[in-house]
Amino acid sequence: MSQLIWMQPEVISWSQILLDSFNKFLGYQLISRKETLQQQSQALFKANFVVVSHRTEPDPILNYGNEMALNLWEMSWSDFTQTPSRLTAEPVNREARQAMLQQAKTQGYIDNYSGVRISKTGRRFFIEKAIIWNLLDSQGNRCGQAATFSHWVNC
């Protein structure tokens, strides 16, 4: 199934929100944008770095994780997109995680986050140099937050 996720219309659309918002807040492209929207969705899903996001619910549920994220958190797309994003961190780390999300919400993005996360099976890993940015829809309304990183070590 994972090979087809990036082809779903809602994933293609959400990929554009991720990519457009990243460029708006950080001033450069996360991936090449010269290809078709479907090819961009595939490139983001197959990237050699993690990309995750959630919407703006009071207890946000993860709504996107690329293949690298699904592997790191040891989840299927179905499990991942039903997981409250707070559960990616252990209870002891959730307050720091929430403070980081609030800082990104206020500033538009942060580009130096580090912290411990936990996979579905309980494996802990330390992420470094994560970028967290706000997501805006085509009307400029805030519609979520996303993160990307390519450095982590198992704890």
Which residues in the chain land under pLDDT 70? 1-3
Q: What angle do CA 70, 111, 45 make, to 5 degrees?
A: 25
CATH number of the CATH domain containing 63: 3.30.450.20
Residue 54 is encoded by which pair of tokens?
């959630």
pLDDT in tens, 2-44: 558 999 999 999 999 999 999 999 999 999 999 999 999 999 9
Please report the pLDDT score of residue 3 as a whole number: 54
Please report the pLDDT score of residue 11 as a whole number: 97
Please report the pLDDT score of residue 97 as a whole number: 80
For residue 91, the enclosing domain spans: 2-154
Please report the pLDDT score of residue 38 as a whole number: 96
Distance CA 50, CA 52 (A): 7
Please report the pLDDT score of residue 100 as a whole number: 80
Domain count for the chain, please give it: 1
Cα distances from 10 to residues 41, 63, 72, 119, 124, in angstroms, run: 10, 10, 23, 25, 31
Residue type, 136: L
Q: Report the phi/psi class of residue 129: left, alpha or beta, with left for phi > 0 and alpha for psi in -120 to 50.
A: left
Please report the pLDDT score of residue 1 as a whole number: 46
